[in-house]
Every structure is written in structure tokens, then in C-alpha cells.
Amino acid sequence: MQTMVKSKRSTKNNKAKSREAAHRIWASAALAATPARRVIIPRPDVLHNYLEYKQINQYLEYLANRYPKFVKLYTLGLSAERREIRALDINWLSAENFESKPAQQMGQIRGPVLGKIGEQSRNIVFIEAGTHGREWISITTALNCIYQVTERYTRNIEILRKLRFIIVPVVNPDGYEYSRTKNPNWRKNRRSHKSTKFVGTDCNRNYDIFWDSGTSKMNRNTYKGERPFSEPETRAMRNLLDSLEPNLLFFLSLHSYGQSIMYPWGYTREPPHFWRELHTLATCGRTAIKSYNGREYRTGSISCLTKRTISGSVVDYVYGVLRTPMALVMELPSRDLGFQPPMENISQIGHESWFGIREMCKRAYDLRHQINRNSEPKLPRPAGADALIDGGNGERLIAAAQSISSSNATDAGGDNAEKKTKTTPKKGKRRLKRSRTAQHEAIMEIQHRSLRRPLAAATSRAGTATGAAGVAHKRLLATKSAPPLREVREGATTTSIMNTSTPPPPTSSRAGHGDGPMSVRGKNARTATAAQATTFMPLGVFL
């Protein structure tokens, strides 16, 4: 009896083992026949929130998994605190999107692959944001651009068929996370400097284009670093930009909060060779945004709108060293909203910015054949760079200073001509400034004298005032070295010295009704001119 029970158990075990073996064979065959399912990644809300660094990477991975045929995700490098710096490549014209070739493994390639190389194949638009940690709105705007060319690609298919987009939403992930958790006003990255208590370098001053002109004080927000490309973030960007240089058409850097669209140069006051085309491109974006919701941006060169020079910036590097046809900086709005606008403004700023960016991309595609950077002259040098060079361009400042000093010596009689020609360029520059001020005050003194004379004789002869005023006007026109005198507006009245033949009313006192533009030898005129100049305030240390 026991032997029969054992035999039945053994047969059951054998049948179960055979079933398991058959199930394994069937499962292996099914896995070989059907492809593996994609990993389901949840989608964070990128249009209405300031995301964490992990959520930003999660959204990029979500897009790479959802649109594998034309969206690729690349890791460019690691930050100082070992965070990944990632770039998203949106290439609608890729071979994989049309020929259904198997996608390449993400770990094998460190950057986007170029097809045809040359002037005829320039079709890459590069957008970068998050260079400064506290500028959160620039990151959300870059994510909005990614959203527009991926999830809403059907509405932007026209531009996707012409251009390829490479977007780096967070260049400085360490500074961004530090500003989110500890210090909202943190600007630099988070790499510590040896044997000092200071931390961080401004990544937008660390590029190798006249880098020496930047500040070398570690406690400054605009510290340039120990050397060009000393930071891992800027090195990662350099490697990617250098590899894309043959096909790079338009570079856009997003910042906040100046509400302006600017073009090079930042390191010098001189305009670039193709400044008209760049101004047309910036004006196109400004007009599009104004037609969208009425917000008006300013346009101009970086040094003009910021009222200072900026050396070592990424825009100057891309435009000056890599010779990309078009490069702009877009300062998002606005002073009253700050670096981190409220949550309810995120979607509005993102959509209006994309409206302007899309129009600028279309315009850049149309201008691609009008800009030939190969025929452009050499880069202009900063204002103080020539004095540091022996010979070459440095001789221009010395020659200018010698001509100024020699002319002053001739006016004094010529006895001290040889001594004054040996002055340094710095002294010559100061002397020129003093001479203009002295000339201006002499002209104002002539006019006031001519105005006081008819006032003294007004009791006996009424016609003398008009004759004296005409003489004063002729003297002003005969003075060749006089600087042009501008119109000064006060209230509803306008006084123009150079364009009127009748003199303004005489001044009685400083505080009375006669306290007009010319009451104290042009002092009020200069104050009014300064007030007009400050109508547009400088952008401050944003860029």
C-alpha cells in the first residue's frame, strides 16, 4: 500500500516538473517573439511649477522614452557636486524617424551626432538656460520650449522640418539646487576654492574670450575663476558647442530679469560686423511678443543695454570664437517679478517667450545665407586691452595721446611740446576730458554774458536785447570745438539753444520762476539730461 502511494506521488511530481519546463520554454519563446515593454515614467507638471533637479531629469527621460524616434537624451558631464548636465536633442529629420532604424544605445554616445557638415547644413538651434542658480524662470522657459517641440510637435511641425533643436535646460544644477533649498539669491556654481572660504564661480564669466578683463575677486558674484574653463559646467558646454560648431545656426541664452533681447558684443562697446542682421533678429522676437500679449522688450547690444562691459560670456564665445552666424541673449521679465516670479506667472511667461523664440528661429533660418562669418574682420579688442600690448594695436592709444598733448602744447606756445608728448595714454585721456569740460563751460559763460548785457540795457533801449542775442548765437555757431547742445525738457516747455534765434528769459534766482534749464551755467541742463538717460535703468548684474 505504501509503495502504491509513493508511486502516485512521484508521478504527480514528474507531471508538475514537466509542466514547469514546458511553461519556461513557452515563456522564453514569447519573450523572444515580442519586444520588451517600455518603462513607464510619470510626467511632472513642467508648465506651472518650479521643478526639482530630479523632476527635470524625470521629464527629460519621459520624453526620450515617449518619442524615441526623434528625441535623444545625452549626458554632457558632471557638475562639481556630481550632478549630471543633460542635453535634449530634438531632430525631426533624423534617419531613425523616417527609416525606422534601431535606436542607438544612450551610453555609447556622449553627444549629438552630426550628419552633413558645412555651411549648407547649418540648421541647429541651441538653447541653454540655468547658467545662474537663482534664475528659476529661465529653466521653466527652456522646459516650455522643450514641451512645444516635443509634446506639441504637430503645431510646430513647420519649424521642426527646417531646424534641429538642442536644449540644455540646467547648465548649473548645483547652484540651482542650492538656491532652491538654502539661498534663493545664489548665482554662481558650488565648486569650492582651495585654501579659501569662498565658494563658486560665475559660469557666464568663465569662457575663453578676453577672459582677463573680468573680476578676480572671489567674493564677487561675477568672479571669473582661476582660468578659462576652470569649471566642469563650462567645460561640458565647451565640448558640446565645439562639436556642433559646423552646423550651429542660432544660439540663444536665457536669463532673467532684464526684459530685453540683446546681441554681442558684451566685452566691448563696438558693434559686431553683422549688427544690422542681429538687430533685425532681436526686433522680430520683440514684435512677436508684443503682438502676443502687449509686453514690450528692449533690443540692443549687451554693452549698450547693460551700460557696462561683460567679458568671458558664453554668447561672446559662441559668436566670436566659434563664429556662429547668430547669437542672442534673452532676458526674461521683469524687475517687479524678480528672479523667481509667482507660480501663476510661469505659464504666461513661458508661452509668450516661446512665441518670440519661434519667430526668431524662423527669421534665423531666412537670414542664414545673408551672414558669411568667413569674410568678417578680426574681433575688436576691449578698451583696455590695447594698452597691455607692446606694439601692434597698443600704438593707437599712444599715438592718440601724443597728438592730444602736442595740440595742447601748441596752444600754449609750443615751449613744452617735447615734454608733453611723453605723457602716458592714461594722462592723455584725462587731459582730453578736461579740455572738453573747459570748452563747454567757456561757451556757457559767453552765452550768459550775452544774456546779461541786454537785460542791463532793457530799461533804455528795447531793441538791444534781440541784437545781443543774435551776436551770441553767431558766436556759438562759430565755435567749432563746441560739443552739440541738446534740448532740455522741463514740464511742457522746451528750450533749444542751438535752434532758436531768440534767447530764453533771463534768470532771476535759483529758487524763483527763472530757475530754468540755463540758470546756473548748465548745471540744471546736465541734471535734466541725466534724468532722461535714466529712464531705462541698467540691467544690473543679471547677465
- Give the whole-angstrom CA distance, residue 185 versus residue 75: 27
Contact indicator for 382, 292 with CB cutoff of 8 Å: no
Point out the catalytic residue in the list 331, 352, 445, 487.
331
Can you read off the three cell numbers belonging to residue 171?
547648465
Catalytic residue check, 331: yes
Contact indicator for 500, 467 with CB cutoff of 8 Å: no
Length of the chain in terms of residues written: 543
Taking 3-state DSSP, the helix, strand and coil percentages for the chain, each rounded to the nearest 5, stand at: 45, 10, 45
List, in order, residues 6 or more apart from 416 with CB less than 8 Å away. 409
- Give the whole-angstrom CA distance, residue 424 versus residue 404: 11
Q: Give whole-number Cα distances, 415 to 405, 411, 419, 438, in Å.
A: 12, 10, 9, 22
**18: helix, strand or coil:** helix
List, in order, residues 6 or more apart from 147 with CB less than 8 Å away. 46, 47
Q: Give whole-number Cα distances, 71 to 37, 240, 247, 470, in Å.
A: 18, 17, 18, 75
Half-sphere exposure of 460 (CA within 13 A, CB side): 4
- Give the whole-angstrom CA distance, residue 409 versus residue 406: 5
List, by residue number, the catalytic residues: 331
